[in-house]
Every structure is written in structure tokens, then in C-alpha cells.
Structure 1
């Protein structure tokens, strides 16, 4: 009826985790900022988090686990951020979930403003990461497509 494909919840609340079981909806389960230091400090903490919030819900389709929400270098948990992502990735991998659940993060849109300080002409190869650009033409408009997948950040 509504064709909902994915739902994001920002912390591991049991109610929506239980409600999402057995459906075709993929769940994006966020790691709250406050949990980042705990997940960065000890692999056992991460393994317990994955067991309690992912593995426990066997009939839920977890697609992504974003760590934090729009983290910035000045945030209190910034120093622990990368370690938390690494530990969580390792735990997901060890649990045999690497092909169906990806560890990621949500990037703050303000980080994209750095492009305005780059002198032009800006060579697309700096931002392609191995992808060749191509031009999309629609009626009278041509757009240089730089990424394989694109999400509008504005």
C-alpha cells in the first residue's frame, strides 16, 4: 500500500525492533552519540551491543548501522568515533552479517561546504574515487554526474 522500503530508528528501542520483524522493510538502526565511547573502548561492549540489538532480532532485516548522527570533529565523542566504527564493523563481520548489514555514519551536510574554498576549475577526478564521470542530458539541461549514487544534501 505505502511501499515503505526502509525505516531509520535513531537508537535501539525494542518496540520498533520487534514491530519490524517478519516484514520486508529494511531497518537502519542508529548508534546514539552517547553510546560511542562505550563501543570504542572495548570489543566485548560492542559484541554485547550487537548481540542485544541486532542478532537477538533474527527476523529483522538490518540494512545499515550508522554510528552517531552528523558527527563533527569538535563533538565530545569525536575522538572515539573511528574506533567505535571499527569495532562495530568487526563485530558485524564476526557475526556473519557482513553481506547484509553495513556499518556507516551520517555525514553533516555542513561538511560539504569545503568545496566552495577550492579554486576553479575543479577537476572531477579529485572527487570520483575511481568512478568515471558522465553527462546526463534532459531536454535543455546537461548535468555532469560525478557519483554512482547521489543523495541531495540540501
Structure 2
């Protein structure tokens, strides 16, 4: 009896540690807007060699999903913005899409989430009103296959969904979005025990305010910090301040029980002449220090025990992306799979 009790306690401790470790996690975004990337098979080998066990895709490419089969890597797939209308209007469309793009691969490919749309609120095609109905119909399709408790559904939002974000304590969603889509989406996430996906980029905040924001504050390096006059909390980096603005916005609407996953964040290693913060050194500092923070179960000043899951953007530089030079240089690896700079992805590497 005594021995069984000890074993039970040890198992409980192990389970608690496992749950905690799973709560704070690092993944990567595997974008493929390029014409020079390695095969998906080689990419999976690269992910495994780096100890990366979570990957977020921007589509449901069969070659990629088949290559991930049996890898043990947890996968988030994307349902595209341009198909939200069809999924919202026709439950049969959502079911057909799910059968073709998820069911045939799972569970050999460990699909753990479907990102329905991406930054829909800034989509120039104005697909916002179709978002939540599409999410619900895809969830119904999951229920038909009894996968609704295994695969979560969310939708990545840009930080611009906030009407106020500085200081963090006044964080709030844009008023025009709250009743039509934010509350219905948060209700759905609460009902399904899912989480809110948020894309945050301190790089852009720094670039827009480099005259008043120190580079050390942007890169998690030592700095005096800034006190939020609204809540008295002290912030030592932009990332925490941005995430706490989201938490404050959730609190304001009384959805403080909805978890947050950072679906995209990163820093470019190269930019145009006016993109002063873009460099390999700064990218290494931002991503490296962020990984250290997350893998040490670092929450935020407002939610110290948040145990965030963070997806770094991005795995590769993507030479076909449009826009300024920085857009093509967020990758941590070159297309030949050589590192652009060093980033630790695991606790073992941190202790190195």
C-alpha cells in the first residue's frame, strides 16, 4: 500500500510536469510562398533534427501532410479566407472540406488544430461576417467524426483587431467588431474549450516608434522597463505589453477564461534601408530570448502563469512574398536549410 501510494504521487507529479511542459511550447510557421524551398520530406527531417514538435501551416497541402505522417509533430492546418463564405453557408461544404483535408490524414498526421481564416478582419475581401458561422460548421463536421475533442478550431487575429493597445491596461477590441464577431467567436472558443490565436509583431511596433522605443526593450534585453499607469505593472519588453493588451481586452468583455496562443511572431534578418531594426543579430536576439522566456514557462506581468504556446514566424525565408524586403526575410533557415542565425528550440539546448 505504501509503495502504491508513492508510485501514485510520483505519477501525479510526472503528469503535472507534463501538462505544464505542454502548456508552454514553441512551434514554427512553415510558410511556402517561395520557389526554392526543399521538399516537405526534407523539411520534416529538419524539424525533427531541431527538436521542433509543433508546426503551423497556411494550407492543407497533401505532400506536406503526408510527409508529417508518423513524425510525432503536432500540426495546425489552415482553412483559407476565400472559402469562408462556402463553409458558412453550407455545412455540407465544411464536411467535404474536412473529409478531404483533415480526416484522411489524422491521426497518423497529428492535426491538433484548424486555423479558420487568417487575419480575417483585415482581409480586403471583407469576409468577417462569414467567420464564426464557418467555424461552427467546421466544428459540426468534426463532431460527425468524433474529432471535436481532439482537434481545436480557432482563427488568428492581427493585433490591429484591438482599438486600444497602449498602455496594455486599456487594451480593448475595436467597438465595431465586438458585437458582430468578437463576442460570437469568444463564445464559440469558450464552448469548445479552444483558444484565441493572436499574431503579434513587436518588430513593427519598434519600426513605427524607433525614436521612443529602445531596441533593448524590443529584444528582451536588459532595460529600465516601463510602468503601466493603469495597472501599476512594469514591462520590460514589447511582446509582454502586446499580449497583456489582448488579455486586458478579453478581461474587459469578461472572457478572461479564454486562453491565448501566439500564432505568429518573429523578427526579420534583413530589410530595406528604412527598416533600421532588421538584422541577423536582432532577429537572433528576439527569437532566442523569446524562446528562453517561453520554455522557462514565462508568462506576462498580467498573467504570470499564462504558459503560452508561441509559433515563431517563420521557418524559411520566402522569396516570393510581396512588400518590403523584410517580408522575404523572416526565416530562421535559408532554403538550403542552413541557419540564418542560431536559435535554441528546446530546453536541452537552453541548458546546453
Q: TM-score range by the shorter chain?
A: 0.7 to 0.9
3-state SS of the aligned residue for 1:7?
strand
Q: Find out whether 1:145 has 2:303 as its counterpart.
A: yes
Q: Find out whether 1:86 has 2:86 as its counterpart.
A: no
Residue in structure 2 matched with residue 2 of structure 1 by the alignment = 50
User: 1:144/1:33 Cα in 2 relative to 1: closer, same or farther (>3 Å)?
Assistant: closer
Residue in structure 1 matched with residue 69 of structure 2 by the alignment = 21
3-state SS of the aligned residue for 2:112?
strand
* Equivalent residue in structure 2 for 1:68, among 111, 117, 120: 117
> For the Cα contact (< 8 Å) 2:55–2:76, is it kept in 1?
yes
Q: TM-score, normalised by structure 1?
A: 0.78
Of 74-83 and 48-57, the range deviating more from structure 2: 74-83
Shift of 1:150: 3.9
3-state SS of the aligned residue for 2:301?
strand
- Give, in whole Å, the separation in 2 of the partners of 1:28 and 1:87: 18
Shift of 1:122: 5.3
* Equivalent residue in structure 1 for 2:94, among 42, 46, 69: 46
CA deviation vs aligned residue, 1:11-69 (integer Å, no higher than 9, x gap)? 11111011111110011101111111111110100110110011111311101101111
Shift of 1:130: 4.6
> For the Cα contact (< 8 Å) 1:27–1:60, is it kept in 2?
yes
> For the Cα contact (< 8 Å) 2:135–2:153, is it kept in 1?
yes
Residue in structure 1 matched with residue 105 of structure 2 by the alignment = 57
- Give, in whole Å, the separation in 2 of the partners of 1:17 and 1:30: 12
CA deviation vs aligned residue, 1:116-152 (integer Å, no higher than 9, x gap)? 3839635965367159xxxxxxxxxx93426734468
- Give, in whole Å, the separation in 1 of the partners of 2:255 and 2:146: 31
Shift of 1:74: 6.7
> For the Cα contact (< 8 Å) 2:121–2:127, is it kept in 1?
no
**Structure 2 unpaired stretches of 5+:** 1-48, 172-228, 233-247, 259-299, 311-352
- Give, in whole Å, the separation in 1 of the partners of 2:92 and 2:84: 14
- Give, in whole Å, the separation in 2 of the partners of 1:57 and 1:85: 20
3-state SS of the aligned residue for 1:45?
helix
3-state SS of the aligned residue for 1:29?
strand
Residue in structure 1 matched with residue 158 of structure 2 by the alignment = 108
- Give, in whole Å, the separation in 1 of the partners of 2:109 and 2:101: 10
- Give, in whole Å, the separation in 2 of the partners of 1:99 and 1:147: 24
* Equivalent residue in structure 2 for 1:129, among 232, 250, 256: 256
- Give, in whole Å, the separation in 1 of the partners of 2:89 and 2:305: 35
